[in-house]
Amino acid sequence: MSHVVLLGDSVFDNGAYVRPGEPDVVAQLRRRLPPGWQATLAAVDGAVTASVPRQLTRVPADASHLVVSAGGNDALSHIGVLEDSSRSIADTLNRLAGIAGAFEQSYAAMLAEVKARRLPTTICTIYNPRFPDPRLQRLGVTALTLFNDAILRHAFRGGLPVIDLRLVCDEDADYANPIEPSARGGEKIAAAIARVVTDHSFEKGRSAVFVS
């Protein structure tokens, strides 16, 4: 029997953000998995990348697949940088490079602990926010490319499949607020997860990008 475990943040643990009576991501995933499969939510709303290894203690012994969505809260913790004054473009880029470098180190350490479980693992990019301020939205999307570049490089280096959430949650209705998935967004995320865990050939150790 296969058992999918979700690790990370509120991209998966979105129960607090959907409307009353609407299903969260893990509930929608359970509906989409083949008969006999299970799904467990170990992700925690508000978690950062460094929190994920602690979530591994909640992984059931019969887990067969791990799916990780982490990094959005790491990026959000630096949102103030987007409004800081700067002496030059080079100064700004240097500061962003330092933030991205620290994130990559944290992400690599987290992923090493996840992969140590030796289970088929899928990782997700960070989706784009839906800030109402067009300027902040443009700056946020641009800055997130640094975080997503790190995630993608580690996926490709490790031969892991990736769900590119930027292309999965690509409509305003996919968001309950600027940074959390709605039930509709959760449905699309669950569909992408179900497709990866049932269709991808993990044993070949080849990366693939899933967008639906």
What is the full DSSP assignment across 129-144? ---SSHHHHHHHHHHH
Domains and CATH numbers, the chain: 3-210 (3.40.50.1110)
pLDDT tens digits for 75-123?
988 777 766 666 777 877 777 778 889 999 999 999 999 999 999 999 9
Q: How far apart are CA 103 and CA 105, in angstroms?
A: 5
> Can you give the pLDDT at residue 83?
65
Q: How far apart are CA 210 and CA 152, in angstroms?
A: 12
What is the rounded average pLDDT of the residues 129-139? 93
Adjacent-strand bridge partners of 67? 6, 122
**Tokens encoding 109:** 């350490």
Q: Please indicate, yes or no, whether the overall pTM of this predicted structure exceeds 0.85.
A: yes
Place of tokens 């997503």: 148
Counting Cα atoms < 13 Å in the Cβ hemisphere of 39 gives: 24
pLDDT tens digits for 154-206?
999 999 999 999 999 999 999 999 999 999 999 999 999 999 999 999 999 99
> Can you give the pLDDT at residue 40?
98
What is the rounded average pLDDT of the residues 14-26? 97
DSSP 3-state assignment of 62? coil
What is the rounded average pLDDT of the residues 56-66? 97
> Can you give the pLDDT at residue 82?
64
What is the rounded average pLDDT of the residues 35-53? 97
